Structure 1
Amino acid sequence: MLSKHIRFLYNDMSKRLIHNSSILCKKKRMHPVLRTLKILKDDLKNLSPSFIETEMKALSAFPSHTDILVIGGGVIGTSVAYWIREKTGLKGPSVTVIEKDPTFSKSSAALSMGGLRQQFSLPENVQMSLFGVEFLRSLKDRFDSDADVCFTPNGYLTLVGEDGVQPLLDNHIIQKELGALNILLNKTELKQRFSWLNTDDIEMGCLGLAKEGWFDPWSLLNLLKKGATDLGTRFIHAELLDFVSHDTEFIISGEKEAEYTGINEAIVRMPNGEEKSIEFAICVLAAGNETNVIAKKANIGTGKGLLSIPIPLELRNRYVYNVVCEGESPRINMPMTFDQSGIYFRRNGLGGSYFVGMSPFVGEESQTNITEKEFFNEAISPILAERVPAFKSLKIHSSSSGCYEYNYFDQNGILGQHPYYGNIYFAAGFSGQGIQQAPALGRGIAELILDGKYQTIDLTRLGFDRLIVDKPMYELGTL
C-alpha cells in the first residue's frame, strides 16, 4: 500500500518537475542536473513519515462523497472504474466501488469458463468480443510485464443440426465483415478435423481460427482492480442498503411545473454492521444478478411512469464440472465446444482433464432439490457421451453450482442511462457472456459518462430505451 501511494505522489511530482523546471530555466540559468536535484529536494520534503501516514489515513477513510459511485466490484463494475480513471488519470473524477463480497464466492465469474468468442449475430456483441481480444493482447503494456490471464487461443466450435444451418450461415457473414476469423465446416470436414467427435446428428459447425479461446477470469478481475486502484479508485467492502431521494421542481416547456425525485446519496452497511452514507454525482449499477434488487431501492420497477419499467433480470442456475477422462482422451486441438443441446466443454490443461458446463432450460429451474452429481448423471452425461464417445468414462473431480444474471427480455446486456434518473447508469444483464465483454463494456460506460456518447463501439441499441418501446435485441442462431 505504501509503495502504491508513493507511486501516486511520484506521478504528481513528475508533472510538477517538468512544469517547475521550465519556470526555473526562464528565471535563471542553472545546470540541468542541479536544477533537477533542487526540485526533487523540495518535493521529497513532503514524503516525511507523518505526511505519508496522514495521506494513507485519508485514502482508507470512508468518503462522505464521491463523483462516481459504482455498485458492484465484479469484473464489469471494476472495468467501469478502470476505464474512467484510465481516460482521466489521477486528477480525474473520484471513483468509489462498493462490493459486499470481495471474495466473490457467489459471483458469476466463479462459474465462468472464461470463454471468448465472436460467434454472435448482433454486431455489437461481435465488436465487443473483438476488442476483448485486443485488450488481452495489450495487458503487459497496460499493466506490467508480468500481467497474464493465461489466454488459450484454441477457438470456439459451435455445432448445429439441420435447423441451425441457415442462422449459422447468416451469422458467419456478419462475423467475417466485422473482422472475425471463423470458418464453416460440414459434417465430413468436422469429422476429419476432430476425429473424437460424433457428427451423426450434426450438419455444420463454425470454428474460430483466431481471436477465440478462453482465459482465466480471476486474473482479469485482479488486473483490472489493480489498474483501477493504481489510478486512484477507492474499493470499499460494504453492502448497499438504500438510496436517499430528494424532491425538486422543474419547468416543463416553460408552462407548468412538475415534481421530480432525484437520487444522489446511498446508505451502505459496513462489515461491522455500521451504517454510513455517501453522496454521489453519478451512480453505475453493475451488481450482476442483484442489479434488479438494487434498482428497486431507487423505485425502478416499482414507481410510476418511466419508473414502472423493471430491470428484466432473474437468477438462473448454472452447473460446472471438472471431469477426468479415464479412457483415451480427445486430442489437444479440442476447442471450446458448444453443442446444440446446450452443453459446452473444453480441455483443462493437457492431462485428460476437462471442464463441462450447462444451464438448465426454462421449465427446469424448479429442480432446485437436484444435486450437482444427479444433474450431471441425468442431464449431461448421456448427451456428452453420445457427442464424444471417449467421454463415456468420465469421472467427476469437482463440481460447483450457482446463479448468474439472466435477462429474460432478450438475453443481452442493459447499458447506459436510465431515462428518468439522468445520473443512474446500468451495466448488467449480460446473461453469461459479460466476462468476455467486460473491457469493452467498461470502456463504453466511461465514454458515456465522460464524453456524453459512445466514442468507439456504438452500443446505443443496448440501452434502456428498448425496454420502453418493447424492441428486444435477440441473438439469433447462437447458444
Structure 2
Amino acid sequence: MEATRDVVIVGGGVIGSAIAYFLKATSAFAGSITVIEKDPSYEFGSTARSWGGVRQQFSTPENIQMSQYTQEFLGQISRLLGVDDTPVDVSYHEQGYLFLAEDHQIPRLFSNNAIQRSLGVNVGLLDADDLARGYPWMNVSDLAGGSLGLSGEGWLDAYSLNQAFRKKAISLGVSYIAKEAVGLESDNNRITAVRLADGSSLSGGYIINAAGPHAATIADWAGIDLPVRSRKRYAYSFSCRTEITGCPLLIDPSGVHLRPEGKQFLAGCSPSPENDPDCTDFDVDYGWFEEHIWPILAHRIPAFEAIKLENAWAGHYAYNTLDQNAVLGPHPEISNFYFANGFSGHGLQQSPAVGRAIAELITYGQYRSLDLSRFSFDRMVTGGAISEHNIV
C-alpha cells in the first residue's frame, strides 16, 4: 500500500486536472492530491481530440452559467495558470457559434434565446435576410433564421488548456502517476483505495471519478451503475480553394457542424441515437463524410462542392445516456466517492466551473460559487432527466 493521499483523482484529462488545480489553489484546502493517468502522452484522451468549442448558447441555466465562468476564467488564465510568470496561451478564437434553424425549429430557437438573454448572454437572433447579408457565401434559401453568439463564444486549443491545468497543479504540489487503475477497494460504504495494474494500490480519503469515457467502468468497480458510455465522434479536416471569410462555428439544422481551423475547416456530425453504439476504437468512417456530411456542407456553402479532405480522426464523448448532462458530486451512499462525468462533449468548456465546484464540495461540503446540485447522482436513480436542447 502506498502512502495515503487526501484526494485521489482517476483521470488526468482536463476535468481531472482542473479539479486538482482548483483544490490546490483553494486556501482552505491543505491536503495531498494524486492524479492517476494511464496515458501520460494524452494522445488517446478525449481532451486532446476535442474541437475545443466554448459557447454560452445552451438551454439549461446551469450550463450557461458554467460557460460564463469559463469566459471569466479565460480572461485571466495567465494570472491563474501561469507558472514562473510564463504567459499561458490556449489559442482562443472568439468567433462565435451560429445555430441555423428551419421553420419548425424557430420556436425552440426563440425559447432558448429567452433563457440565454435572461442570464445576460450576448446573443442575437437573425432572420434569413440577416443571414444572407452577413454571410454571402451561405445558401439561406431553406432557412428561417439563426442564433449568433455576439461575444464570449469560440474555440481554443484543448491540449494546451489541459497542459496548463496540469502544469499549474504540479507546481502547486499535485502528484501525477502514469499508471492504470484496475479496481477499487472498499470498507463500510467507503472507497478506501484504488488498485493499480502494477499490483500496488493507492489509498485516499476522497476518490474522484474523472475518467471520461471510461467513467462507467470505474463506477462499476464500486457496484454503481453509471449511465455514461463511450460514443465515437469523427472530425474531418478539409481545404477549400474559395476563401470563406467571417465564418463562426456553424451548426446546420441537420446537425452537421463546422468551423475554420487555420486555412482549413473542421466538420462533423453526431449520428442518430439508433446508430450510435458504445464504442472504444479510433477507426474513422470516411463514408460518413462522403455520404452524409459533404452533401450537406455543399448545400449550405456552395463553395464546399469542391473541397479536398486533408485529415480525419476519431475521439469519444463521455455520453450520459439519461440526459447528456454532467453527473457531479458524491454518491448518496458512498459519500467519499465523487463523480465528475457524463459531459457528452462539453467537458472541456465546463472544466473550469467543474473544477471549482468539486473543490468547493470537498473543501466546504457545499457549492459556494454556483449551485450545481441539479446535476447530482440522485437523478440517475430517480430518472429525473435535465433536458439540454442545444447538444452538438
TM-score (norm 2): 0.95
| Equivalent in the alignment of 1:373 | 286
| Equivalent in the alignment of 2:349 | 436
How many angstroms does 1:75 deviate by?
Answer: 0.3
Cα distance in 2 for partners of 1:337, 1:110 equals: 21
Give the partner amino acid of 1:109. Answer: T
| Alignment equivalent of 1:117, drawn from 50, 55, 58 | 55
| Alignment equivalent of 1:414, drawn from 327, 334, 338 | 327
Q: Contact 2:179–2:196 at 8 Å: present in 1 too?
A: yes
1:283-313 deviations in Å (ceiling 9; x for gaps): 110100101011111111xxxxxxxxx2111
Query: Within 5 A, what are the aligned runs for 1:5-20?
Result: none
| Equivalent in the alignment of 1:107 | 45
Query: How many residues are paired up?
Result: 387
| Residue 330 (str. 1) matches residue 268 (str. 2) | no
Query: Within 5 A, what are the aligned runs for 1:3-82?
Result: 63-82=2-21
SS in 2 for 1:210: coil
Q: Percent identity?
A: 38
Unaligned regions of 5+ residues in structure 2, if any? none
Q: Contact 1:324–1:394 at 8 Å: present in 2 too?
A: yes
Cα distance in 2 for partners of 1:445, 1:376 equals: 39
Q: Contact 2:326–2:375 at 8 Å: present in 1 too?
A: yes
| Residue 166 (str. 1) matches residue 90 (str. 2) | no
| Equivalent in the alignment of 2:266 | 355
| Alignment equivalent of 2:195, drawn from 253, 263, 267 | 267
| Equivalent in the alignment of 2:296 | 383
| Equivalent in the alignment of 2:226 | 311
1:355-406 deviations in Å (ceiling 9; x for gaps): 1122222122369898532111011111111011111111111110232211
TM-score (norm 1): 0.78
1:87-129 deviations in Å (ceiling 9; x for gaps): 038x711011001111222211233111111000111000000
| Equivalent in the alignment of 2:372 | 459
| Alignment equivalent of 1:188, drawn from 110, 125, 129 | 129
Cα distance in 2 for partners of 1:63, 1:190 equals: 60
Query: Within 5 A, what are the aligned runs for 1:151-230?
Result: 151-230=92-171
1:31-81 deviations in Å (ceiling 9; x for gaps): xxxxxxxxxxxxxxxxxxxxxxxxxxxxxxx94210000000000000000
| Equivalent in the alignment of 1:297 | 221
In 2 relative to 1, CA 265–361 (structure 1 residues): closer, same or farther, beyond 3 Å?
Answer: same
Give the partner amino acid of 1:77. Answer: G
1:300-335 deviations in Å (ceiling 9; x for gaps): 1xxxxxxxxx21111212010111003x1211x100
Q: Contact 1:119–1:478 at 8 Å: present in 2 too?
A: no
SS in 1 for 2:361: helix
Cα distance in 1 for partners of 2:78, 2:43 equals: 28
Q: Contact 2:230–2:278 at 8 Å: present in 1 too?
A: no
Query: Within 5 A, what are the aligned runs for 1:110-149?
Result: 110-142=48-80, 143=82, 144-149=85-90
Cα distance in 1 for partners of 2:192, 2:365 equals: 19
Q: Contact 1:79–1:439 at 8 Å: present in 2 too?
A: yes
| Alignment equivalent of 1:474, drawn from 365, 369, 387 | 387
In 2 relative to 1, CA 276–371 (structure 1 residues): closer, same or farther, beyond 3 Å?
Answer: closer
Give the partner amino acid of 1:222. Answer: Q
Higher helix fraction: Structure 1 or Structure 2?
Answer: 1
Deviating runs (4+, > 6 A) in structure 1?
367-370
SS in 2 for 1:70: strand
How many angstroms does 1:139 deviate by?
Answer: 1.1
How many angstroms does 1:478 deviate by?
Answer: 4.9
In 2 relative to 1, CA 366–218 (structure 1 residues): closer, same or farther, beyond 3 Å?
Answer: closer
SS in 2 for 1:227: helix
| Alignment equivalent of 2:22, drawn from 55, 74, 83 | 83
How many angstroms does 1:266 deviate by?
Answer: 1.5
1:256-291 deviations in Å (ceiling 9; x for gaps): xxxxx332112112xxxx321111100110100101
Give the partner amino acid of 2:267. Answer: V
SS in 2 for 1:111: coil
Cα distance in 2 for partners of 1:95, 1:329 equals: 49
SS in 2 for 1:445: helix
Give the partner amino acid of 1:266. Answer: V
Larger Rg: 1
Unaligned regions of 5+ residues in structure 1, if any? 1-61, 248-260, 301-309
In 2 relative to 1, CA 295–141 (structure 1 residues): closer, same or farther, beyond 3 Å?
Answer: same
Higher relative contact order (CA 8 A, sep 6+): 2
Give the partner amino acid of 1:314. Answer: R
Cα distance in 1 for partners of 2:278, 2:154 equals: 32
Question: What's the Cα RMSD here?
Answer: 1.8
Cα distance in 2 for partners of 1:440, 1:160 equals: 30
| Equivalent in the alignment of 1:231 | 172
Q: Contact 1:64–1:277 at 8 Å: present in 2 too?
A: no
